[in-house]
Amino acid sequence: MRFLKNHFSMYAHLPKEIYVLAFGKLMTSMGALIWPMLTLIMSEKLNLNGQTIGMYMMMFSMFMGPFYLLGGKLADKYNKKHIIVTFDLIGNSLYFVCAALPISMTTLYLLAIASVFQSMEQPAYDALIADLTTYKERERAYSLNYLAMNLGLVMAPMLGGMLFNNYLNLSFFINGLADISSTLLLLFFIKNVKNTISDSKTVNEYEKGEAGSIFKVFSKRKLFFLLFIISGIAAMIYNQFNFLMPLHMEEAFRGSGAFKFGILASINTVVVVIGTPMVTKKFSGVTDVRIMYFGQLLESVGLAFFIFVNRYFVIAVVGIIIFTTGEIFGSISKTPYLTKRIPETHRGRVLSITNSCAGLIGILSNYVIGILIDYYTFHTVWIIIAAIGVVVMILYSIYLILDKKAYPGLYLE
């Protein structure tokens, strides 16, 4: 009990709304049985090959992109709570429709529509956390949200793997029920948040509100364009957790690939639950960009282990532990990094544009990866992923130098 108290004590004294959001994220993640298995649904249930799967993932991303950007604009203009609740209820209702229908291409299209509404609310969700906290509380707030999400995912992927072969429709129903419960929690327990006059205790010099369009904001922060490129390539590497990895598991462990991937996904969440408070506390005084650098390094090294996975599952387990440690570093630093450097009046739009660029480049690359795995071995494709990881590390090294020159005030604390 004392260990748990010490382990989670760093999350004390945050605004109570942050705890409500975290608990809602926990409930949503407990029922997240579909998205971790999406690649396997397309390959095993719909009999699509790697190239076709990559094409559909690319199309989904391109389809969602404009709506994600629209969600960012709406988040800066309208009530964030109302945006989240409205889009969540619409998107989540489609999971119940999927549960009632036989698995077919129609299921895939309904999931695409549901993801559109869920992506539209995400900028409002991220911006709401920033609105509810001071810039000094932000790492802990986003860390808690990330921890809650993964705490709920501890058993979800494994349960999804168990239901995959014979009870996939039940997975859709559980997913929808969990999401609806989370939305109702937010509806009743989060008060409407309005922007207030900020001072130096709640925002730093770089996030004070500005007048003007999003183009004006970016014109003053040209360094972000390099960040878009880095984030896109990094997203491409990370996406292989849900794209290349499950396909590799199915090829290496015929008949039990879905279950093996479910185990890896559950290990991922267990490491996150144990490691997130420790990493957040240990590196609380380290600059965001350095934390992102460490995270990318560990992610790349972890995925490189899959080069050597043939039929030795233990290698995959070691790789996923290293990869997940890197994921923790990245997740607790990327959004706080942005919110400290953009005007609070433009948070929703900047976050949506940044994440859209990363997501688009990442998913477009999945199409290329899909082609590669149709012509080359998984061993070769993983080597390519590792080489790209080296390139990202070089870019991050350059970015750290430039960021220190652009935002010197954040390096004085």
- Tell whether pTM > 0.85: no
In one-letter notation, the amino acid at residue 297 is: L
Alpha-carbon separation of residue 395 from 286, 293, 341, 360, 361 (angstroms) = 19, 10, 19, 19, 16
First and final C-alpha spacing in the chain: 34
Give the span between the Cα atoms of 81 and 88, in whole angstroms: 11
Number of domains observed in the structure of the chain: 1
pLDDT for 234-260, tens place per residue?
A: 988 998 998 899 889 988 888 788 788
Q: Is residue 278 part of a domain?
A: yes
Count CB neighbours of 255 within 10 A.
9
Alpha-carbon separation of residue 300 from 83, 143, 231, 388 (angstroms) = 36, 22, 14, 9
Q: Is residue 159 part of a domain?
A: yes
Task: Say if residues 239 and 389 touch (Cβ distance below 8 Å).
Answer: no
Q: Is residue 6 part of a domain?
A: no
Vertex 184: Cα angle to 178 and 188 (nearest 5): 150
Task: Report the pLDDT value the prediction gives residue 194, as an integer from 0 to 100.
Answer: 55
Q: Is residue 202 part of a domain?
A: no
pLDDT for 199-208, tens place per residue?
A: 445 556 777 7
Task: Say if residues 130 and 209 touch (Cβ distance below 8 Å).
Answer: no
Residue 301's CATH number = 1.20.1250.20
Give the span between the Cα atoms of 399 and 289, in whole angstroms: 8
Compute the Cα dihedral for 211, 213, 217, 219 and give only its sign: negative
pLDDT for 376-397, tens place per residue?
A: 999 999 999 999 999 999 998 9
Task: Say if residues 220 and 232 touch (Cβ distance below 8 Å).
Answer: no
In the predicted model, what is the mean pLDDT of the chain?
82
Q: Is residue 208 part of a domain?
A: no
Q: Answer yes or no: is pLDDT of 12 > 90.
A: no
Q: Which residue segment(s) compose the domain that 305 sits in?
A: 12-193+214-411
Q: Is residue 7 part of a domain?
A: no
Give the span between the Cα atoms of 296 and 394, in whole angstroms: 11
Taking every pair of Cα atoms in the chain, the longest distance, rounded to a whole number of angstroms, is 59
pLDDT for 162-213, tens place per residue?
A: 888 888 888 888 888 888 888 888 888 887 665 544 444 555 677 776 666 7
Q: Is residue 123 part of a domain?
A: yes
Q: Answer yes or no: is pLDDT of 112 > 50.
A: yes
Q: Is residue 25 part of a domain?
A: yes
Vertex 294: Cα angle to 145 and 388 (nearest 5): 105
